[in-house]
Structure 1
Amino acid sequence: MEANERVKETEEKQEVWSWGAGTEGQLGTEKLQDEHIPQLLPLLPSISRLSCGGAHVIALTYGKKVLTWGRGASGQLGHGNMVNSLEPKSVQVLSNFNITHVSAGWNHSGFVSECGQVFTCGDGSFGQLGLGDYVSQSSPIKVSHFASRHVYQIACGMRHSLALLKGEHGDQVYGFGSGKRGQLGISKEKVKAVSLPQSVSGLQEVNVSSISANGDHSAALSSEGNLYTWGRGFGGAPDVCCPDRVISRFSFKQAALGWNHVLGLTDEGDVLMLGGSHHGVLNNPQKDVLVNQDLTEEQVKKIPGLNKIKVVGIASGSEHSVLITENGEVMTWGWGEHGQLGLGDTCDHTCPQLVNIAQNAEHQYITSSKVYCGSGFTFVVRACRPKQT
């Protein structure tokens, strides 16, 4: 264990909270039921990152090892079988690798090692595993197409995947899987599916810092703060087959994709939303000047009720949204049928609502928090400073 990890473990304690849809074990509560208010999970190894999919979760520890739980019927947990898991279990096939990035899709998973190797498992019926076939896998398999390249990130959507490569010849994004809504970005025309990674058009000159995928959408952020989206059109707009830059006076540092909307977090701590015409629609939204160049009159909506509130993190499920403020408060809105808003009910909400997460009596104060969303569930990971003894 590295010195900074020992310091983290001795000076801070970590809490993991979950709520929402839980009938396939995805909440990690060891119960097969929905939870309408935040649930504190049993002690887990210190987690550096989570990724939540359709009904499964991938956890990456500070030791660069992988745990998974939840729905496993397509092999997406990587345990060598196709069964659900009520509790976090180590992915043994990856135990000899240092994993630095993970992503959970609807029914498939992706993992990136420290040396740039990519592994995938789960549903492969649309080619989303990138293995050159349409076969599902219950254990992580190395994507040989990238054998001589260094992959930095992977992003898994509903039935497609993206990979971000870094190298001396510049950044490149690759897409594979279903392309029927243009979400692969590999051609000006829609493609049914591809099972081998192909280069995304239009990003070759862009310094890409991160990629995202959810539903039939794809997105990329540049190091300059530009946001690019492609795939299914937002707000009833036409599908987009190649990345389009969202024209804006704002610089973005994070993007979160839902099935019908995208959130953008600006450098100033403001949150903007494009789409959201279903459960996440806002009441009387203020319109801002963020316009996609190919969506003539389409404008994003500034989230109401957040005046003078600085936001430091965002996440999106299929049709619900979550944000965290600089004070560590968690707010949610959108679809609430499974309790994924954490408000104690199953109602939809069109404006951000404060979630009551209990303060552990042993902990003095929250030092940092991160939020994550699956299709109908939510996770919060908090670092807390314990009381002095």
Structure 2
Amino acid sequence: MEETLAGSNKNSAKEAEAEAEAEAEAEAGEIWGWSWGAGTDGQLGTGSFQDEYLPKPFRFSTPLSISRLACGGAHSIALSRDGRVLSWGRSDYGQLGHGDFENSGRPKLLEFFEGFKIKRVSAGWNHSAFVTDTGRLFMCGNGSFGQLGNGDTQSCNVPSEVAFFSSKHVEVEEIACGIRHTLALVNDKRVYGFGSNKHGQVGNISSKIQKSCKFPEVADGLENCIVEAVFANGDRSAALTDNGELYIWGRAFSGKLKYSHPRRVPSSSNFSQVALGWHHAVVLSDGEVYMIGNYHHARHGGSSSANVVQDQYFPSAFTIGTNENPSEPSLKKVEGLEGEKVVQIASGAEHSALLTDKGSVMTWGWGEHGQLGLGDTCDQALPQRVNLEEASALVTIRLAVYCGSGFTVVTR
């Protein structure tokens, strides 16, 4: 018995030592960027499991150049420039793809894709998508609504190929994950949707509304467009065309209305970027930012009206209507950006972020988890500058900003 206990203690000591070495190695690794906000599931990638109200550097021991990031409900996926994938955060449905259901507080290489080159990634509430350079689509995580696209409602903790697209001899070009649905843009420019369609977010399938689609279905209403990009968040979908037109469908931005047919946002502007939230959308045109909808989770009241998100700042101007109650979408220019040229936008569930051409990061919206990076949990009606210099002296203008449901990540 004593020998067994001694052996057990020895193994525990070795495990603790190995964990300490890995921690030291990560701390000594290259700084990828900064993260803040909700962190209790490890989604900030810093190794801690707590909310952070100010930007905190996160590192990875292996020097990798990150080309893009995808942030979901409580997990993140990083894509390196050479096509490798790392994931971290919550994995209650296996959305990290590592073959288990263990949360990870630090970026971990996804070994499944050894031998593949990944070109696109997307993170939903608790499912993930990966597109190879040959147009094959793999997915993992929660499949309860058919959002993994393989004809069932099973979840999967390792990436599984969506056989539908290879069987149709089409290549997936772009992918977007919402809360319970997925959009795929293929090489013939058709948009497919699968998963929950309760709010019409998959689209008008075969002239009738289905509550869910377990196999990919073509989303009607975009036949006369050349779609260049697709977007999904919450129960809403969007598509951006080659001439800068924006189409949106799914849950309305206010009320209980829904619309399963893509509706064009009327504007003379050409949109270059789109970021969807749960109840709002942010769009970019010629360096200027516009907003549709509002933040439903904003807390009213407080010491200063300037620090509270009020409906008058972001009216629910875009309500996707029905045949009985049609309404046209409209835009409101985001205030407080005079003299700034914006080069990138991002949105989480109820907050947004932007990056200027001078390398400044600004955030606004819901702040309960510190996702605005301002050192508190206040909401903000107007964009506020995030001080990254306090986190590190390595800030350059070569930054990119991303938002999850209650957290924000900046990479360099």
Normalised by the size of structure 1, how large is the TM-score?
Answer: 0.89
Which residue of structure 2 aligns with residue 23 of structure 1? 40
Q: Which residue of 2 aligns with 1:332?
A: 363
1:180 correspondence with 2:198: yes
TM-superposed CA distance for 1:378, in Å, is: 0.2
| SS at 1:145 equivalent | helix
Which residue of the other structure, out of 180, 186, 189, is the alignment partner of 1:159?
Answer: 180
- Judge conservation of contact 1:245–1:292 (CA < 8 Å) in 2: no
TM-aligned CA distance change 1:333 to 1:279, over 3 Å: farther
Which residue of 126, 134, 157 corresponds with 2:153?
A: 134
Q: Which residue identity is paired with 1:57?
A: S
Q: Deviations over 1:22-42 (max 9, x none)?
A: 000000010010000001112
Cα offset for 1:172? 0.4
Note if contact 1:106-1:158 (Cα within 8 Å) is conserved in structure 2. Answer: yes
How far, CA to CA, are the matches of 2:294 and 2:378 in structure 1? Answer: 17
Shift of 1:133: 0.5
Paired residue for 2:19?
none
CA RMSD of aligned residues (A): 2.2
Which residue of the partner structure matches residue 219 of structure 1? 238
2:403 aligned with 1:370: no
Greater than 2 Å deviation, 4+ residue runs: 186-190, 235-238, 279-287, 289-300, 359-363
- Measured in 2, the distance between the counterparts of 1:72 and 1:191 equals 29
Question: Are residue 306 (structure 1) and residue 345 (structure 2) matched?
Answer: no
| Counterpart code for 1:156 | C
Equivalence for 1:386? none
Q: How far apart are the structure 1 equivalents of 2:46 and 2:362?
A: 22
Distance change in 2, residues 1:258/1:224 (3 Å): same
Query: What is the CA distance between 1:307 and its match in structure 2?
Result: 1.8
TM-score if structure 2 supplies the norm length? 0.84
2:194 and 2:90 map into 1 onto residues whose CA distance is 23
Q: Quote how far apart the aligned CAs of 1:236 are.
A: 2.9
SS at match of 2:222: coil
- 2:375 maps to 344
Structure-to-structure mapping, 1:88-167, within 5 angstroms: 88-147=107-166, 148-167=169-188
- Report percent identity of matched pairs: 51
Give the Å deviation of 1:186: 3.4
- Structure 2 unmatched ranges of 5 or more: 1-29, 299-308
Deviation at 1:153, TM superposition (A): 1.0
Larger Rg: 1 or 2?
A: 2
Comparing 176-185 with 273-282, greater Cα deviation is found at: 273-282
What's the secondary structure of 1:299's corresponding residue?
coil
Measure how far apart 1:190 and its partner are: 2.9
SS at match of 1:42: strand
Q: 2:54 aligns with which of 6, 15, 37?
A: 37
Q: Secondary structure at the match of 1:146?
A: helix
CA distance in structure 1 between the partners assigned to 2:313 and 2:370 by the alignment: 24
Contact between 1:145 and 1:196, CA under 8 Å: does it hold in 2? yes
In structure 1, C-alpha distance between the alignment counterparts of 2:176 and 2:335, rounded to whole Å: 30
Cα-to-partner distance string for 1:33-53 (whole Å, 9 max, x where unaligned): 000000111245211010000
Deviation (angstroms), 1:284: 4.5
Whole-angstrom CA distance in 1 between matches of 2:279 and 2:392: 39
Judged with a 3 Å threshold, the aligned counterparts in structure 2 of structure 1 residues 256 and 226 are, in CA distance, closer, same or farther, namely same
Q: 2:338, 2:392 → 1: CA distance?
A: 31
State the Cα deviation string for residues 92-145 of structure 1 (Å, max 9, x = none). 111111000000000000000000000000000000000111000000001000
* Contact map agreement 1:185 1:241 (CA 8 A) in 2: yes
- Contact 1:73–1:83 under 8 Å retained in 2: yes
Report the 3-state secondary structure (helix = DSSP H, G, I; strand = E; otherwise coil) of the residue aligned with 1:321.
Answer: strand
Contact kept? 1:245, 1:293, Cα under 8 Å:
no
Say if 1:247 and 1:291, in contact at 8 Å, map to a contact too: no
2-structure distance, mates of 1:277, 1:379: 20
| 2:217 aligned partner | 198
Provide the rounded CA distance (Å) in 2 between the counterparts of 1:183 and 1:303.
26
Q: Which has the higher helix share?
A: 2
1:27 is matched by which residue type in structure 2?
L
Q: 1:359 offset after TM fit, Å?
A: 6.8
CA gap of 1:166–1:298, structure 2 versus 1, over 3 A, is: closer
What's the CA shift string for 1:166-191, capped at 9, x where partnerless?
13xxx100000000000001335432
Call closer, same or farther: CA 1:361–1:118 in 2, change over 3 Å: closer
Aligned match of 2:249: 230
Q: Greater shift after overlay, 237-246 or 219-228?
A: 237-246
